[in-house]
Each structure stands twice: as structure tokens, then as C-alpha cells.
Structure 1
Amino acid sequence: MPRKRNTRRSPDMPTLADVARLAGVSEITASRVVRAQGPIADPTRLRVLSAIAALGYIPNRAAGSLASAGSTLMSVLLPSLSNIVFPDVLRGIHTALTQTAFQPVIGVTDYDPLIEERILISFLSWQPAAVILAGLHHTPVARRYLEQGRFRVAELMDIDGDPVDIAVGMSHRQAGYETGRHLIQRGYRRFGYARHNILTDDRASARYEGLCTSLQEAGLSLIAEHRYPGPSSTKAGRDTLEILLSAHSELDVVIFPNDDMAMGGIFHCMYAGITVREQLGIFGFNGLDIGQAMPMPLSTILSKRFLIGKTAAEKLLESRERPPEKTIINTGFDIIEGATA
């Protein structure tokens, strides 16, 4: 069930005149900076850009067209489209919008909050009816634009925090905690963790923290962990497990931040002659189809990605006006016991 929190209504958006006044220039000069037209002295340009950032000003590139008719654009900012998790989310969004006049416009942030900020500001100039983003953590500038906007906002995947408008997803901290409890109940005691190097992946970090908490409550801790120097991939999982086991052969289970890396761990076990589950447990996250199609289905947690995207878009369609209360919708998660841990 959704739960709601009180918040105040968003203030009116600043105008170009406000920007010009703060920068100490004419509106014509401010407009030329915004439109990147004509010669402008660098100090003047910097003053105008600083004023834009300070006020959260959004230029209206849709004036006279979309804005006058009511925009039918939904800006969707996702960390990746190569990771199957987010195409599943996008499929849910598309399903909710397919019988409506709304169309998603997609931006990919590569898990970089500064790229997210830049794409967000660019998209907002087209006056979208709503913005959909992954996660609850953004740059201060991006957060200010989101809070001050007259559009709806849905933040997906995570509910462990304070949303701008609507949050749809699951508690990743709880998912990590339940992972630890599940594996402890299955008799595992010597835990290892294989990480990737996406420092801005807040959801993976929350699962890691939840896991450590559950182990600590049971009088246990991670014996070993290794952070792969690059982004998540199947190869990263294979290489990371090889490094972990070369130094800590006593491990009886290794947890991966996602199914892609866990699959790589299984491939290493096949290469090294390690019997999965009997000699080493492997546990992932996401519940991808490929993991469940293996001869030994992957033990993992199912994140309800399609449902998250569909629910968020449906919720945004209920009203164009941002209500005075924030909404959090917990789609939950399921533990897939599988055959690898």
C-alpha cells in the first residue's frame, strides 16, 4: 500500500527576468546566453549561468506548442540500457503509456549524477508533463530543479529515502538483510562478497549494508571481499571470484551485487572444477531469466522491474498536478531459492 508524507507545494518557477536581475544584465543578454547565440563576454556568461543554477531557471523551448497544449512528453532518465534491468523498467513504462497520448523521451546517465543533472536540465527545457528517474539520490542542483518544477516526478527502484513526489520500488537495504538471513538459515558461515566499481550505485551499496547488518546480528562478518576495478559484467564476476578464492579458499558462499556477475562466478567454478552449492554457494540479485534458465537455476532475489516501471507511469497518469503529499509504493521483492546456494 502507498504511504504518504506531508510536504509543501512547489514555488513558482523563476523567469528569465529573475535571471537577468540576479546576474546584473539585460533580459536580452540573458536570453542570448540561454540560447547560446551571439558573442558574450566570458565573465558575463558565467554570471548568467551562475544565476540560472542558483535560481533553478528552466528555459521553455516548447513555448507556443507543447506548453500551450499541455505537454505529452515524459522524460525518462535511466542509468543504463545495456543492463537488462532497465529495459525491463522501460517496458513497464511503455505498457502503461501505450494506450495514452504520452510518449517517453529517454536519456542514459551511465550511473553518473552529473550526467543525470545535465540531461535533466536539457529535458526540462521541453516542459515535460513528468520526469521519471532511477534512485532517490541526485546532485543538489538536480534535486532543486525537481522540487521546484510544476511537473510530476517519479523516482524508481528505491524507497529508502525522501522522494520528491512519488517513489516506486523496494527497500534494497532490506533485500540485503534478507539475503544474509536466508543464507545463514541454509547453513553458510564463511561469507565473501564480490563488488563492482560503480561508486554511485546507491542501491548496491544499500544491499551491502543490509547484508553486513544481518551477518553482524548473527555474530558473523564478511571474511573477504573484492572490488572489481571496472563496471559490472559477467567477466567482472568471473575474474572477481577467481581473485577472492585465490586468497580465501575457505569461503563457502559468495554474494554478488547482481545476476550478471553471479553468472560469471558460476563460469569460474565450471572452469576451476568447483562444485557449485556443494563446495561454494553463489547468490545474485535481480532474478534475470538467463539465471533461471541455467541447468542449476541461480539463487537470487527477484526485483519486480516491469511492475516498478508500469506502476510509476500509471501513478503519474492519475493527475498532472503534484499533490501536497509524497507517495511511496513498495513493490517488494522475492527470494528465489534456486540451486546455487
Structure 2
Amino acid sequence: MPRKRNAHRSPDLPTLADVARLAGVSEITASRVVRDRGPIADSTRTRVLTAIAELGYIPNRAAGSLASAGSTLMSVLLPSLSNIVFPDVLRGIHSALTHTAYQPVIGVTDYDPLIEERILLSFLAWQPAAVILAGLHHTPTARRHLEHGRFRVAELMDIDGDPVDIAVGMSHRQAGYETGRHLVQRGYRRFGYAGHSVATDDRASARYEGLCTSLREAGLSLIAEHRQPGPSSTKAGRESLEILLGAEPSLDVVVFPNDDMAMGGIFHCMHSGIAVREKLGIFGFNGLDIGQAMPMPLSTILSRRFLIGLTAAEKLIESRERPQEKTIINTGFDIIEGATA
């Protein structure tokens, strides 16, 4: 006899009964694990959670009242809100949604794929109409849920890869390549790189790879590089440049992964009496206002952050149905010549 399924679920989506069957437990036990209610043996919980991940099961916290077909929730997962880059993206999203029925729900992942996965699964339980994330790389479990969901998906900032649905952003590899090309054309030959840990920063890694490629094509390479442990910050930029120049004082230009760290590099130069541009070129990334407000505007690359958020949200609300063809939108970037390199 055919099994009855929840009327609010696609017939292709797994049910709690499927989870229970795969885990070898009753539906009541599986439900208690999902709802985190009552005493459950660790081994039983592990079996149920493994079955949930394998099947891609999503509990419906809204009990059908916010099924994707009628939901006005848009889940937005961003790496940080303290980094000015992402509030700019969020402003773009907000601008696109202001006069619509859609409401963004924000989660912060701290650049951690496992935190992103946990927040994503929590949000999906409320059956959002769409999900917006930063970057194209996610845990296998998160990617599986994104691919099999009945909601729209926009992945922001990066277009160097295979999106689930829509990718909006720029080629970071190309941005790094153009950075090197621009600086070589300006006469720099002894390159240094002062960065931070890129273990979870795919976009900074791509820019670094692009930079190295352009230098190789010019018959050059990085003379020295240093990465501060932990996330990027102005303080990390200052400390990184100090260590870098201590090891290799002959550098004539240093590339930083972002404007925050580049500003720290400028502060180190000010403290140490190093003439920026005359003795050492400084180059950043993002085109932040603070860098352009300096007496010597920062040489950098402008990323169109507001446009990325705006475009992504506008594309998502064009249609609730996910098309067969994936969409990649290149918002591009600009080199700001500035006065520091």
C-alpha cells in the first residue's frame, strides 16, 4: 500500500518515516531527536542524525504554514557583520526587498563552514523562499541541502566555480591577477605579501593565486610573504608588515588581502618613518571609504558590494521556481590607482 506523505512536502523529499526506517528506530524516537526532546541514547541520536544528513531531511518548523510556495522569508548567511564589506552587501539586499513582502533573516557564520551548515539547517526548517550565502564552497551536507531544496539560492561575492542556482560577484582570481599586472606596469619588481590565515577564506586564496600567476608571467615572484594567525584586522596588517620588512627590508611593494590590513601597513610605515609609495608601495582590496579618505588615498581594487547584494535579491524575487539553467552574474571590479602604490 502506498505510503502517505505530508501534503506540504514534495513527493521527492524524504519524510520523518524515511529517517526512522534508515536509522532503525520508531518515528516517535526520530521525532524526539529532531525536536531535541526527552532522553535519547547517544548511539541512537547518532544513527538518526546520520540518517537525516544522508537523506537530506528537513523538518518543517512552521508545520506547513510557511511552505516555500508562500513563504516571505529570505535566509541570509554572512561571514561577518563587523567587516564593513558585508553590511554593504546587506544594504543592497535590503534595498531590493524594501518594497516587497520579503523579510530577510540574518545569520552570521564567522567564516566557519560548520557554523554555516548549522545555521542553514536551522533556517531551512522554517521553509524559506530563498537562501543567500557568501561564497561557493560549503560543507557536503550544506551543499546537498541547497541542491535538493525547493527554494531559490544565491551565492555571493565569488563566481569562480559551480553555483547551486545563482552566483553574483566577481572573479577573485582575476582581481589578484590584475593587481599583479597593474603593479608590474607601474615599475614594481620586489613584491611582498602580508596576509592573514586563509584556511577559511577562499576568496583571499584565489586573489593570492591570481597575483602569483601574473608575477610568474612577468618573470617575477613574491620575494617574501608573511601571514598573521587568525582573522584579518588593521592590527594584524601592521604587525604582518613589520615582520615582513624585518625579514626582507628590500621590498618595494607589498600586497595585502584587504584594505583593513593595508591600512595597518600604512600605520606601520607612519610609525617607522617609511615613505609610502616613495620607499614602499602599499596595495589593498575592497575600496573601502576609509582608505579613500586618507591624505594619501589607498591604492586598491574596488569590489561592488552593494550592487552584489542588490542584484542577488532582485534576481531571487523574479521567480520562485528554480530554473534548469544556472546563472552567473559578474559585477566586475575597478582598480583604484590611489596614491600609495
Q: 1:102 maps to which residue?
A: 102
1:278 maps to a residue whose letter is E
Q: Secondary structure at the match of 1:237?
A: helix
**Aligned positions of 1:209-220 closer than 5 A:** 209-220=209-220
The answer on whether the counterparts of 1:20 and 1:26 sit within 8 Å (CA) in structure 2 is: yes
Give the Cα–Cα distance (whole angstroms) in 2 for the partners of residues 264 and 158 of structure 1: 25
CA contact (8 A) 2:133 2:154 kept: yes
| 1:148 aligns to 2:161 (yes or no) | no
Q: Please tell me the residue identity of whatever aligns with 1:31.
A: S
TM-score, scaled to structure 2: 0.96
Alignment-derived partner of residue 41 in structure 1: 41
- Do residues 268 (structure 1) and 268 (structure 2) align? yes
**Letter of the structure 1 residue corresponding to residue 32 of structure 2:** R
Contact 1:160–1:172 (CA under 8 A) maintained in structure 2 = yes
The CA distance in 2 between the partners of 1:30 and 1:230, in whole Å, is 39
**SS state of the match for residue 199, structure 1?**
coil
Give distance in 2, aligned partners of 1:322 and 1:138.
19
Instruction: Work out the CA distance in 1 between the residues paired with 2:53 and 2:168.
Output: 28
Q: Which residue of 2 aligns with 1:3?
A: none
Q: Which runs of 5+ in 1 are unaligned?
A: 1-9
Q: Which residue number in structure 2 is paired with residue 254 of structure 1? A: 254
> Is contact 2:68–2:150 with CA below 8 Å preserved after alignment?
no
CA distance in 2, matches of 1:152, 1:69: 11
Partners of 2:248 and 2:296 in 1: how far apart? 24
SS in 2 for 1:66: coil
> What amino acid sits opposite 1:45 in the alignment?
R
2-side partners of 1:278 and 1:217: how far apart?
26
> How far did residue 11 of structure 1 move?
8.8
SS in 2 for 1:225: strand
User: Which residue of structure 1 lines up, in the alignment, with residue 124 of structure 2?
Assistant: 124
Secondary structure class of the residue paired with 1:269: helix
Q: Deviations over 1:275-319 (max 9, x none)?
A: 110100000000000000000000000000000000000000001
1:68 Cα deviation (Å)?
7.9
Q: How many residues align?
A: 332
How has the CA–CA distance of structure 1 residues 69 and 184 changed in structure 2, closer, same or farther, with 3 Å as cutoff? Answer: closer
The 8 Å contact of residues 172 and 207 in structure 1, kept in 2 or not, is answered as yes
Match of 2:230 in 1: 230
1:315 corresponds in structure 2 to: 315
Q: Where does residue 111 of structure 2 map in the other structure?
A: 111
Q: Give yes or no for contact 1:23–1:48 (8 Å, CA) kept in 2.
A: yes
Q: What do you get for the CA RMSD once the two structures are aligned?
A: 1.2
Q: Cα distance 1:11–1:222, how it changes in 2: closer, same or farther (>3 A)?
A: farther
Q: Is the 8 A contact 1:111 1:198 kept in 2?
A: no
2:207 maps to a residue whose letter is R
Distance in 2 separating the partners of 1:268 and 1:258: 16
* Aligned residues of 1:11 and 1:148 also touching (Cα < 8 A): no
Paired AA for residue 314 in structure 1: E
Matched, 1:77 2:77: yes
Residue 192 of structure 2 corresponds to residue 192 of structure 1: yes
- Higher normalized contact order (CA 8 Å, seq sep 6+, divided by chain length): 1
CA distance in 2, matches of 1:163, 1:292: 33
Q: Which residue of 1 aligns with 2:19?
A: 19
Shift in CA distance, 27/11, structure 1 to aligned 2, threshold 3 Å? closer
Find the aligned partners of 1:190 and 1:87 in 2 and give their Cα distance.
Answer: 35
Q: Within 2, Cα distance between the matches of 1:75 and 1:68?
A: 12
Q: TM-score scaled to structure 1, two decimals?
A: 0.96
Choose 253-262 or 191-200, whichever is displaced more: 191-200
Q: What corresponds to 2:51 in structure 1?
A: 51
Helix, strand or coil for the counterpart of 2:54? helix
Query: How many angstroms apart in 2 are the aligned matches of 1:29 and 1:293?
Result: 60
Residues in 2 aligned to 1:181 and 1:112: alpha-carbon distance in whole angstroms = 32
Deviation above 3 Å: which 4+ runs of structure 1? none
Per-residue displacement from partner, 1:68-127 (whole Å, max 9, x unpaired)? 871111110000000000000000000000000101111111111011011100110010
